[in-house]
Structures are given as structure tokens and as C-alpha cells.
Structure 1
């Protein structure tokens, strides 16, 4: 572990959702840098020596927290997993979170953990999400929060919220990608056996596709797009592969992925460009060509719009040979 690891404090509050508590421990705990170092030190911090863990609103077991709550005061990131909504947030937790916000500590909620951040005032005036079934209640209790019931996760650089269960995995992996780049995040995704590219603006609740004569799945077309992302694919090319009209393709794509074919393809190309910048010394025009962007100008435009940086600055930040890594862009 590096001499000065990024400390992630995971709060084990009474009534914590056990699965949500385990998510940041797994993702941050398994992350490794190219040299083999573990960049995060995870601390589970409890409000009592042991707390009740819940699932589906039912108390199932107790968890012994190895650290007291004050151990979270040294954290660089504080994660609040989901909790039973009817329980009030302890005053000492509110004080901890408000103090952390004042020190510019990164704060994260998973699922109904958003209620705790909102109770502390950290979501006031911000867009936030939570499990779709709890969104209306969050909006009712905290009218000063702009609740988005559709997003998988949202964040403004220091405060992040996510929807339920699997969306917590997506958010934690997104933060690894912000901190250490796409290649490290992809390695972490492999370690926890999950896909590395679900984006925060994808819908958290996607209705099932209508019945069709076949299975209606676009899995084969998605795999084909993934493999051929560097090629100049058009909507018509994708529809031809799926043997659908462009209109039917777009409808099915949104039903099954929560986004459009060209938006999905653009995200895949951006991910490919990030990997090339991190793992090769190819010049920027070559990265643009190999990632399907066509030109260095188009690549720079995409990076500026999506990542608020340039390809060159991204490479300087995340190329392992540069040594020093930044935690923001």
C-alpha cells in the first residue's frame, strides 16, 4: 500500500443494508495500481460496536464494525450505504458529514444513504438520486433537493449519490476511473466480475421489451458494436446488423440499454480512447483513428465535452510512467 493511501470510510449505521455496505469494501479494497499497490485504505466505521443489518426492510443479522465513528474523521472519502428510511440519522453522524463537507471531503451515498446526506444538508440545491422506489419520499422530506428518480448515479465532483444495489457498484467503479483512469477501473471491474462501462445517465429502471417472435435481445449487436467501435459505423449499419429498421432499433435499444445506439457507441469509443492514452505512446491523431473518432479535433471535442480535459492532459494524468497521478480533472 502507498505511504499515503486514500482513506475510504464506510459508515455502518444501525439498519444498514448489508449488501450496500459490502460494495465499497469490495470495489475500493480490490483496486490495484499497475505497480501492484493498493491505492485505497478502507475503514468500516460504526456508530456502535455492532449494528443491525437489513435487506428488503427486514433485520437479518448484526455486523461488528472494526472502527469507531471517529476513525472516519481522517477519511478522504466517506461512503454512506443504504439504511432503513424510517430510522432517524444520529446527531454524531450529521456532525461528521457536515464537518467532512466543510473540509472538502468526498461524500458518497448508495441507495437510501441519500436520506442521510440530505439530513446533513449536503444535497441541498443539488441533483441527487436514490432507489427509484424511494425517490418520491426523498423529494417529500427534502424539497430543497432536486431528486432524479431515473439516473443510476449523479455527482458534482465532491458529492455523489447512486440508485439501489448494482448502481452502487457502478458509482464506486466510476470513482476509481476518476481517480486512477480507465485501465485501472477496467482491472477492478474484472476483479469484481462486472461490466466497466455503465454510465450514470443510463436509466436505473428499464421496462422489459415487448414480446417478439424471437427473444428480442440486442446482445449480439452490442457485442458486434463493441468489437467494431473503431470503425465508422452509422445508425443504418447497426440496424442492418440487427436486421431491424432504424426506428425499431432505436426503440429496442432504449428499452434494453436506456440510451440510443449512437450514444452507446460514443461512450464505447471514449472508453477505448482512454485505454489507448493510458496504455500506449501512440500520438493523439493515431489514438483518434484507432478509437473511431476519426480526427484529433473530434477526439479533443469529445474529451472536452465529456471529461472536461484534453487527451494530452488526460495522458499526463493517468499514464503510469508519469508517476504523479491526480485525483481530479
Structure 2
């Protein structure tokens, strides 16, 4: 048997095949969500950076968002740190954005430029999402977008916002508030929570959790900003015991939990437990349990092939009908629609599994 000489390996065919596969995947991917971040004179670099980090840099080489910064005033713009920004896009280029983020505002007593207010009104009218982080909520209110709606802002300015815009239902003790096409957040770092929540609603809770891990922040803080208004309490035996109890409850959401059973498990009176729970979490037992159960249901719907009934049981809702009710109330959709919305993510990643606790 005569064997021919084998020459050097030519990997061009495999490389071409790989490139074709990547091109096909890119063509099948939905278009990036365009996010315009508004800059202005005196803008805080930290506030300006939040949308870019959450929506842009943290997603790596294949971002789901296209983030760009638009100047609301003539450039260069001097920041609160004293350096200047230039080379930004003009305000007119934000008109085609899917999302417009006002990251803050320099003075709640100063009316923002009329072109910016007009842009926000037109964006909301055409169906774009408008987000006001921290004092950016005041800009949305000045534009008339929050009239008759719920909103929040930095707790230090909540009373002034309530007095200036009495038509807004202000919720000063939460981290963020969602209304159709609108979102407002509490102060400073709560902007990260709000942006993560937007990612959660657009891309699913598992993607938001993965992103939070990369940012080294909590995926979801169920407490509100009320816990930050006063100096935090030192760690006590009671608060340490409560923290362990909450971890245990998260691992057993399928079991029935009530204020009375949790107080008994913590060896506290109902009144003392309620007060300590509110101090540490910034919310009530009922609301904390609901938030944790909704998160658990989202993860199960996105990452497993469990039936709706099974998901309801594992998340602690008891019945599929109860799960549907809470999804409609909190997410304006059904569990089935939520699962369908993220089928692409499951198909692109690992196969669904049947998780249970």
C-alpha cells in the first residue's frame, strides 16, 4: 500500500466555517438597544458612568446595548470634578434612541433646557423608555412625564420634589419605581439597581444576575433607601441571627412562611421582629417574600423546563393561578410569555434543567 505524503495542515476551511457560523449568529441576534445618556454642565462623573458601565462595558464584546452620550448644552461641558467633556454627540441624535437616560441634574431649583424637556416628551410619546436616575427624576417631572404617576428620587431631595411637583405620587423609601415607559431611581448607587432592573426586564433575570456578578454588586436589593437615611446600626446578635434566617428562607421558598413563623424562628416577639426586619431590609416581611419568590420564579422559567404549576410550587406561590396573578401585577405579562421571551437565551446557553429545592 502506497501512502502519499501529507503536507502541512490547512485550517482555512475550519476557520471559514467558524466565521460563517459567527456571522450567522450575529445576523440572527436582535439589534442592539440604543441608549442615549444625557450629559450637561456640572454632571457628576459617577452618575454619568453608571449607564455606560451597566449597559455597555459590562456586557463584553457582544453587548445587547449600544450606549452613547449626548450633550444637552454647548460643549465642552465642565463636570463637577472640574475636567471638561467634548466630542459628545448632539442632543438631536438622541431622538432615535430606544432608551434615554438622564443620569442626574445639577440643581433641583433650576429648570432644565427646553430642548431637553421637549426631547424627553417626544421620546416618551413615540414609545421610547425614559429613565431618570437620582435627581434626573426632577427633570422627568419638569417635562411633565410623571404627572399622575409614581416616582422616587434621592431621599435628601424627596420633600422638595413633593412640594414642587404635587401631581407626582412620590415614594421616597424605595430604590427605584417603574411606570410604563418610565423609570426613576433613588440617589447615587441606586442608579445601578435601576439599570440592572431594566436589564432584567429586557433580557431576563439570569442575564441581570450574571451582569451583577461581573459588576460585583447585589443582583437585586429588595430593601429601599429608607435604610440609608440614618446611620446604619452596628451588627448585633439579633441582626446577625436575622441575616442567617433570611438565607434559610431563600433556600426554602417553597415552604409556607409568615411573619409569625419567621419571628418564632428568630426567637423574637412579633413586634420586635417586625421592627428589626424593617430596619435591616427596608421593607416588610410580606413584600420581601414576594420579591424573593418572584425572582425565584423568573429564574425557574428562564433556566428550567418545569411546568408553570411546578414553578409556582417551587417559588412558594401555591398555585399557577396565584403565580399568574402576581406576574400580571408586577411585570404586566404572564409566566408563559416571560418564558417565551427568553427562549433564545436558553437555546444559546446550556440546556434547561429540572431544578428543585
TM-based fold match above 0.5: yes
Q: Which runs of 4+ in 1 moved over 6 A?
A: 209-213
Could you tell me whether the CA contact under 8 Å between 2:58 and 2:215 is conserved in 1? no
Gaps of at least 5 residues in structure 2 are 1-25, 348-357
CA distance in 2, matches of 1:65, 1:231: 56
Q: Which residue of structure 2 lines up, in the alignment, with residue 253 of structure 1? A: 277
More deviation in 109-118 or 119-128? 119-128
CA distance in 2, matches of 1:138, 1:65: 33
- 1:132-156 Cα offsets, whole Å, 9 max, x none, are 1112222333333333322321221
CA distance in 2, matches of 1:209, 1:3: 44
Alignment of 1:51 onto 2:77: yes
Alignment of 1:77 onto 2:99: yes
Could you tell me whether the CA contact under 8 Å between 1:277 and 1:319 is conserved in 2? no
**TM-score, normalising length from structure 2?**
0.79
Alignment of 1:282 onto 2:294: no
- 1:219-277 Cα offsets, whole Å, 9 max, x none, are 22222222222333343442244232232211110111121223312211111111111
Q: Which residue of structure 2 lines up, in the alignment, with residue 326 of structure 1? A: none
Alignment of 1:42 onto 2:64: no
Q: After the TM superposition, which residues 20-31 of structure 1 pair with which residues of structure 2 at under 5 Å, given as runs?
A: 20-30=47-57
Using a 3 Å threshold, how does the CA distance of structure 1 residues 165 and 240 change in structure 2: closer, same or farther? same
Could you tell me whether the CA contact under 8 Å between 1:13 and 1:51 is conserved in 2? yes
CA distance in 1, matches of 2:37, 2:138: 16
Could you tell me whether the CA contact under 8 Å between 2:132 and 2:185 is conserved in 1? yes
Alignment of 1:7 onto 2:28: no
2:100 counterpart SS class: strand
**Among candidates 146, 156, 174, match of residue 197 of structure 2:** 174
**Whose RCO is larger (CA < 8 A, sep 6+)?**
1
**Among candidates 54, 60, 66, match of residue 88 of structure 2:** 66
Using a 3 Å threshold, how does the CA distance of structure 1 residues 188 and 30 change in structure 2: closer, same or farther? farther
Q: Which residue of structure 1 lines up, in the alignment, with residue 125 of structure 2? A: 102
Q: After the TM superposition, which residues 166-245 of structure 1 pair with which residues of structure 2 at under 5 Å, given as runs?
A: 166-199=189-222, 202-206=223-227, 207=230, 214=237, 216-217=239-240, 218-245=242-269
- Tell me how far 1:293 sits from its aligned partner: 2.5
CA distance in 2, matches of 1:25, 1:320: 25
**TM-score, normalising length from structure 1?**
0.86
Alignment of 1:298 onto 2:322: yes
CA distance in 2, matches of 1:213, 1:299: 36
- Tell me how far 1:81 sits from its aligned partner: 1.0
Using a 3 Å threshold, how does the CA distance of structure 1 residues 67 and 273 change in structure 2: closer, same or farther? same
CA distance in 1, matches of 2:119, 2:154: 24
Could you tell me whether the CA contact under 8 Å between 2:133 and 2:191 is conserved in 1? yes
Using a 3 Å threshold, how does the CA distance of structure 1 residues 125 and 267 change in structure 2: closer, same or farther? closer
Could you tell me whether the CA contact under 8 Å between 1:181 and 1:278 is conserved in 2? yes
Cα RMSD of the aligned pairs, angstroms, is 2.6
Q: Which residue of structure 2 lines up, in the alignment, with residue 320 of structure 1? A: 344
- Tell me how far 1:184 sits from its aligned partner: 1.2
More helix by share: 2
- Tell me how far 1:3 sits from its aligned partner: 6.0
- Tell me how far 1:78 sits from its aligned partner: 0.2
Whichever of the two has the greater Rg, that structure is 2
- 1:264-311 Cα offsets, whole Å, 9 max, x none, are 122111111111111111112222222222332332233233223222
More deviation in 93-102 or 178-187? 93-102
- 1:37-71 Cα offsets, whole Å, 9 max, x none, are 421100111133331222xxxx5433335322222
More strand by share: 1
Could you tell me whether the CA contact under 8 Å between 1:111 and 1:161 is conserved in 2? yes
Using a 3 Å threshold, how does the CA distance of structure 1 residues 51 and 321 change in structure 2: closer, same or farther? closer
**Count of paired positions:** 315
1:111 counterpart SS class: coil
CA distance in 1, matches of 2:65, 2:43: 22
Gaps of at least 5 residues in structure 1 are 324-329
Q: Which residue of structure 1 lines up, in the alignment, with residue 45 of structure 2? A: 18
